[in-house]
Amino acid sequence: MAMDGSSGGEEFAVGCLLSIKTTFGDEFEGQVITYDRPSNIVVLQEGLKSNPQSRRNIRLLKANYIKEFSFLGQSDDPLDLKKCYLDLNSLQSKEDAAVRQAEIDVERIGVGVTAEAQSIFDALSKTLPVRWDKSVIVVMNEVRVSSPYLAESVTGGTPAANERVRKVLELERRRLQTRGSGQ
């Protein structure tokens, strides 16, 4: 069983347990679900030791990026094609939901801001409605926190709101600091 991925001439036996090292240095163990010759893709699943119904990582790996692998064992065909069926609707809704969620998440990610700014944003978002306006964090649609996101950089809004944002910002900064130092 000379499974030389780059040649593509040999099949990866379905059900094989392999330990694979890729040309990029990734190393993982997995079971071969299938090997597709035309595209030269090996489909592997990780986490074999867990319960078969549980969720596993799945890798679609171009076989020609396999640097080396070792054969660990053989087990049954992981996929029973006769039992497999999919619901396109649920797939579609799953994707839609994922895309929507991603868009929401994207809103939360500042463009061109530092990681610190993002963590401040995330921290503020736990207690206050926030959004990004370029690199400025807008709190409650009125108070603006611009770089470097210190208490002094809080501007706008009613005095009460401004004061409140300052307080929360200081608190969150302190918390972030302690967390950072703790690590």
Can you give the binding site for other proteins, defined by CB under 8 A? 9, 14, 22, 24, 26, 33-39, 41, 43, 45, 52-62, 65, 78-99, 102-103, 106, 109, 111-112
Question: C-beta of 79: minimal distance to other proteins in Å?
Answer: 5
Q: How many CB atoms lie within 10 A of CB 126?
A: 9
Retrieve residue 73's tokens: 């064992």
105 to 93, 122, 147, 161: CA distances (angstroms): 18, 11, 21, 25
Q: How far is the CB of 172 from other proteins (least distance, A)?
A: 22
Return the ∠ at Cα 56 (arms to 1 and 119), rounded to 5°.
Answer: 130
Closer to other proteins by Cβ: residue 95 or 170: 95
Q: How far is the CB of 107 from other proteins (least distance, A)?
A: 10
Tell the smallest beta-carbon distance from residue 143 to other proteins (Å).
25
List the one residue out of 1, 10, 83 whose CA is nearest residue 42: 10
Nearer to other proteins by C-beta: 93 or 178? 93
Residue 97 in tokens: 């939901």
- For 62, phi then psi, to 5°, come to -65, 125
CB closer to other proteins out of 1 and 160:
1
Residue 14 vs 72, nearer CB to other proteins:
14
Q: How far is the CB of 97 from other proteins (least distance, A)?
A: 7
> Between 66 and 139, whose beta carbon lies closer to other proteins?
66
Q: Which two tokens stand for residue 76?
A: 């049954």
Edge to edge, the sheet with strand 143-145 lists: 130-133, 136-139, 143-145, 154-155
